[in-house]
Amino acid sequence: MFKGILIEKDEAGYRAALTDLDEGRLPEGDVTVRVSHSTLNYKDALAITGKGPVVRAFPMVPGIDLTGTVAHSTHPDYKAGDAVILNGWGVGETHWGGLAQKARVNGNWLVPLPAQFTLQQAMAIGTAGYTAMLCVLALERHGVTPADGEIVVTGAAGGVGSVATAVLTRLGYRVVAVSGRPAETDYLKQLGAVEVLDRATFATPGKPLGRERWAGAVDVVGSHTLANVCATTKYRGVVTACGLAGGMDFPGTVAPFILRGVTLVGIDSVMCPRPERLEAWRRLASDLDVAKLATISQEVGLSDVLPLASKLLNGEVRGRVIVDVNR
């Protein structure tokens, strides 16, 4: 038996509870992982609360990421004792995920833990941090350099935003953070933001084009915020869009794209091809100041996850939440 969070949906309704699970119930897979840590991402909070259609099969163990050591493997690349990371591929959505003490997965979904990180640190980064790095890689791929000007990061005090702010700063970019929490101004400046703007100024309908300011952007909010970011991005600037914390709509115009040559890059971490994942983790190992992880993250136990899920959706959680599943 092992402990895990289980989401069920039946005549009795939609519910999540911490429970004891029999190993025989684990799904199919060629690698069984003794989970060490998972995290609470925005998507996990939607799954746990039922506020978003994340879970596609019931019952489901949530948790879109995990770290741990291989307990048993028939996959050629992994053997017992190997330290591994898993992000996405539908775990916690269609396949039992990381918020449990054991997981059985497809070995092709795993990446080896970089030597620079402990299992706990890799989950301080988690899917949110790996997604932030995918955004940074996209900015680089499209030619944005620190000399081009400021990068705006929205939802900056959240998981993706915090890691994006820290990494971009370390790479020499001037980061302007957008946040709804004035109380987190010092935190964001500690991560390297040169200025913190009130998210309210981005949240309402704006003009098709505004004063050109951003060389690049990392947007986790969507809706009017994304439209306003695009409208104020400089000629040939690059906007990476990865989130919908403010809404799934995109109420903008094509003006930034056809008049200023702005590029809007979509970022998906779930099905991202393996070479790019490996590159993202390699770059996190070299370009994220590990000392910042303690500032960015807090650690909780499995039993703390359920009450925290609603708080996270209300934007009340700062940075990243690591879950020690054995605590």
Task: Name the site residues for ligand NDP (rule: CB under 6 A).
Answer: 41-43, 127-128, 131, 155-161, 179-181, 199, 220-221, 225, 242-246, 267-270, 312, 315
CB of residue 100 to ligand NDP, shortest distance in Å? 20
**Residue 248 tokens, joined:** 């799934």
Residue type, 181: R
The residue among 25 and 181 lying less far from ligand NDP, judged by its C-beta, is 181
The residue among 26 and 296 lying less far from ligand NDP, judged by its C-beta, is 296
Q: Pick the closest to residue 262 from 324, 201, 209 (CA basis).
A: 209
The residue among 23 and 268 lying less far from ligand NDP, judged by its C-beta, is 268
Which residues 6+ apart lie within 8 Å of 233 measured at CB? Answer: 212, 213, 214, 215, 216, 217, 239, 256, 260, 262
CA-to-CA distance for 98 and 307, rounded, in angstroms?
18
CB of residue 221 to ligand NDP, shortest distance in Å? 4
* CA 93 to each of CA 6, 61, 210, 271, 310: distance values in angstroms, whole numbers, following the listed order: 12, 8, 39, 13, 18
The residue among 119 and 177 lying less far from ligand NDP, judged by its C-beta, is 177
The residue among 21 and 229 lying less far from ligand NDP, judged by its C-beta, is 229
Peptide bond into 53 cis (omega under 30): no
CB of residue 188 to ligand NDP, shortest distance in Å? 8
**Residue 61 tokens, joined:** 């163990």
The residue among 104 and 199 lying less far from ligand NDP, judged by its C-beta, is 199
**Residue 241 tokens, joined:** 């869009």
- Residue of closest CB approach to ligand NDP: 158
CB of residue 96 to ligand NDP, shortest distance in Å? 19
CB of residue 204 to ligand NDP, shortest distance in Å? 11
Which residues 6+ apart lie within 8 Å of 49 measured at CB? Answer: 16, 309, 310, 313
Backbone phi, then psi, for 208, in 5-degree steps? -60, -35
In the numeric block, the tokens 């100024």 are attached to 201
CB of residue 271 to ligand NDP, shortest distance in Å? 9
